[in-house]
Chain A
Amino acid sequence: MLEAAKELGAVILKPARNLYGMGLHFAKSRKMAPLVTCVVLCSLFIGGLAEWSRRAVITKASSGISEHATSWGWGSIASISYVAAAVGVVLVCWHWSRLISELTSIARQLQDEQVNYIGPSNSDIINHLCEAVNDRFGKETDCKAQLERQIEDLQIQMQIFEKRGRDTEAIIYSIRDAVIVVDEFDNLLMANEAAGRLFNFDPGNSQHRPVCELISHLRPDSGENQLVDLLQQSRQGKIRNTRREITLSRNDELQTFDCVVSCMYEQKKQVSSVVAVLHDITREKEISQMKNDFVSSVCHELKTPLASITAYSEMLCDGEADDEKTRKEFYAVIQGQAQRLNRLIEDSLNISRIESGLTKVDKKPASLTILIEEQLQMIKNYAAEKNIEVIRDKPIVLDPVNVDRDMISQVIVNLLSNAIKYTPAGGSVRIQTDVDEPSGLVRVNITDTGVGIPDDEIERVFDKFYRVAANKGQAKGTGLGLNLVKQIVEKIHNGRVFATSKVGAGSTFGFELPLATAQMAKV
């Protein structure tokens, strides 16, 4: 019984539900409003027609013809039509009010910047609108995301550029060469510390100041003004790279700089800035000059004995030496000059090797006293030949030094032979050693009673090829012996050479070396 009731219910409910669904669908459809409006208009028309028919029936009835039933029928139709029209009007109003409220809600949502999705709605029209708005929202979101990505990329690039800029600045500041950057109006853009020091301005507080104010000099031909001119010329001539040597006077000394000026271009090949880099080449030039002088001096010194050899051998060949005695004299001169040539070459090579650091140094512990004794034995005969007394002051036994024995022996023999060479017969040469333990030094003095050296020349006796003019005739020499002594003692053994003299009374030459014990203590 119950199941039969359920079945009956289902049979009744199904079409009702379908009908409701269709109604709902219709209500949501955008065709609903015009359709309902048409229904309202038709209902009013039918209502009006029915009303007119009813009145015609009533008029006919009043003329005697009883048509009561017909009049009632037309009245019912009119009433139903009016009711239907009223329902239609209510439906249309309800529909429009719903649309307006949904549109108001959408407008409110659109005002909110956070909202990027609208809907869905019960109304087809609103849904359509929502879809269009959501579509636009979607496109805008994509566009925004793309822009954000681009901004992020740009920010990263900017950070990289800023870092590169800072790095470049740091590099420029750390360069020991002076760097100056000026803009297209010759105002300072940047200068490093070295440039500030060189031209005496504060690089930090001088930006945008005219460069000619910062580095100009009173003298029109000064290096400073040359640099300012060079910067201007490079900018005006748009010259990519210019190189020039510039000399600046600093603390009464001339300093030479290798100056490279380069133009930086922006688009359209306009010069945006000019960079000047000044590299100090004073020392390089000095060394180069010294080398040139040395080579030139060596060549000159080599030519002197060579001139004698050439002249004497030509004379012998031409038979200009008449007798045997003259010929023997000529041979002796040639032999002597050849030996001098050899000594010169040897000494030059030794000095050159020491100066360039190519000499093989073999330092070993040695007793200076023993080295001096050995050399004294070697030179004894030479002193005796010249009738010169060599006096050895009480030798100190404990004077250990860490030296290259051959080199220090050469120092001793050079100083001893010089002393004997420039001392007239009957004179004396005294050699003494002092150990200065507090200073960790051993000092050797070689004093002669020779011709002496004028005061103004004593400073130069250790220079290469320098020979005291007044004493040149006294003995042969290359002018390199004392320089070799200086190089060996000072450059190789960290010692010191010295000389004092009085013309006519004699000279004292000597050297100091660090004691091996002191060196060990230091280690």
Chain B
Amino acid sequence: MAEKKVLVVDDEIHIIHVVAIKLRNNGYDVISAENGADAFELAREQQPDIVVTDFHMPVMTGLDLVRELRQNETTKDIPVIMLTARGFAIEDEQKEDLQISEFLSKPFSPKELLRSIEDILHEKAVMQRH
């Protein structure tokens, strides 16, 4: 089975670093970006299997990034996990509209993130088989 590709987006370089190590240790290919605009370009070019993005970022927020992804034909089906430091509740409608698979609040556990990625990719594979 080919390595699954994960795009990690966060303006905190330490977070990217730690998530990348965790995922690489578990057999994933990790690409990363520090802001939404770069991430969108990378997603279009490299077609990752899943995107893990921070919510609060300069230039383009995580939510804006997801909107962009959903509007583009080649990226519209990529599942997204959003990391957020704010204890805010995103509107359920928005969550459904943008098809955000999961919200993880910071501080998060890399183990938990890995489990979520695995679950979502497994579900996606099952869906595709059917």
Complex Cα spacing A308 to B54, Å: 13
**Contact across chains for B107 and A306 when beta carbons are under 8 A apart:** yes
In the complex, which residues of chain B have a beta carbon less than 8 angstroms from the beta carbon of A299?
Answer: 85-87
B59 at the interface (CB under 8 A from A): yes
Q: Chain A, 272-288, contact with B by CB distance < 8 Å: what is the 0/1 string?
A: 00000000000000000
Task: State A92–B25 Cα separation when bound (angstroms).
Answer: 153
Residues on A with beta carbons closer than 8 Å to the beta carbon of B17: 333
CA distance A326 to B18 in the complex (A): 11
Say yes or no: A304-B85 contact (C-beta < 8 A), given A311-B18, A320-B21, A469-B59. yes
Interface residue B22 (Cβ < 8 Å from any Cβ of A):
yes
**Interface-forming stretch among B71-79, B90-98, B108-116, B117-125?**
B108-116
Report the interface size for chain A: residues with CB under 8 A from the other chain: 25
A174 at the interface (CB under 8 A from B): no
Report B-chain residues with C-beta under 8 Å of the C-beta of A306: 106-107
Residues of B within 8 A of A333 (CB): 14, 17-18
Q: Shortest distance in angstroms between A338's beta carbon and chain B's nearest beta carbon? A: 12
B26 to chain A, nearest CB (A): 9
* B107 & A315 in contact (Cβ 8 Å cutoff): no
Which residues of chain A (305-360) have a CB below 8 Å from chain B?
A: 306-312, 314-315, 318, 320-321, 326, 333, 337
Interface string of B32-52 (1 = CB under 8 A from A): 001100000000000000000
Contact of A314 with B85 at beta-carbon distance under 8 Å, contacts A307-B15, A308-B15 already known: no
Q: Are A472 and B14 in contact (CB under 8 A)?
A: no
Q: A310's contact among B22, B86, B108, by CB below 8 Å, is which?
A: B108
Please tell me if the beta carbons of B58 and A300 are within 8 angstroms of each other in the complex.
no
Q: Tell me the nearest residue of chain A to B35, going by C-beta.
A: A469
CB of B37 to closest CB in A, whole Å: 11
B102 at the A interface (CB under 8 A): no
Are the C-beta atoms of A300 and B56 separated by less than 8 Å? yes
CA distance A296 to B12 in the complex (A): 19
Q: Which residues of B contact A438 (CB under 8 A)?
A: none
The A-B contact count (CB < 8 A) is 66
Q: How large is the interface on B (under 10, 10 to 19, 20 to 34, 35 or more residues)?
A: 20 to 34
- Say yes or no for B19: interface residue by CB 8 A criterion: yes
Cross-chain contact B110 with A307 (CB below 8 angstroms):
no
A166 in contact (CB, < 8 A)? no
Residues in A whose Cβ lies below 8 Å from that of B87: 299
Question: Once bound together, how far apart are the Cα atoms of A306 and B17, in whole Å?
Answer: 15
Contact: B108 with A307, CB < 8 Å? Answer: yes
B67 to chain A, nearest CB (A): 19
Once the chains are docked, how many angstroms separate the CA of A303 from the CA of B83? 12
| Cross-chain contact B58 with A303 (CB below 8 angstroms) | no
- Is A204 in the interface zone, CB < 8 Å from B? no
The answer on a CB contact under 8 Å between B58 and A472 is yes
Asked whether B11 is an interface residue with its Cβ less than 8 Å from the other chain, the reply is yes
**Would B110 and A311 count as touching, CB distance under 8 A?**
yes
Q: Which residue of A lies closest to B14 (CB)?
A: A308
CA distance A299 to B111 in the complex (A): 24
Assess whether B106 is in contact with A314, with CB atoms less than 8 Å apart. Answer: no
Cα(A258)–Cα(B109), bound, Å: 46
* A337 to B35 CA separation, bound complex (whole angstroms): 21
Q: Residue on A with the closest CB to B60? A: A469
Q: Closest CB-CB distance, B24 to chain A, in whole Å?
A: 10
Contact of A311 with B86 at beta-carbon distance under 8 Å, contacts A320-B21, A469-B59, A473-B34 already known: no
Residues A303 and B85 in contact, CB atoms below 8 Å apart: yes
Q: Is the CB of A304 within 8 A of B111?
A: no
For B22, give its contact among A315, A467, A469, A473 (CB under 8 Å): A315
- Chain A residue numbers with a CB within 8 Å of B14 are 308, 312, 333, 337
Lowest 3 A-B CB distances belong to which pairs? A469-B58, A310-B107, A307-B106
26 A-B residue contacts at CB 8 Å? A299-B85, A299-B87, A300-B85, A300-B86, A303-B107, A308-B12, A308-B14, A310-B108, A311-B15, A311-B18, A311-B19, A311-B107, A311-B110, A314-B110, A314-B111, A315-B18, A315-B110, A318-B111, A320-B22, A320-B110, A321-B21, A326-B21, A333-B17, A337-B14, A469-B58, A472-B11
A residues at B contact (CB < 8 Å): 296, 299-300, 303-304, 306-312, 314-315, 318, 320-321, 326, 333, 337, 467, 469-470, 472-473
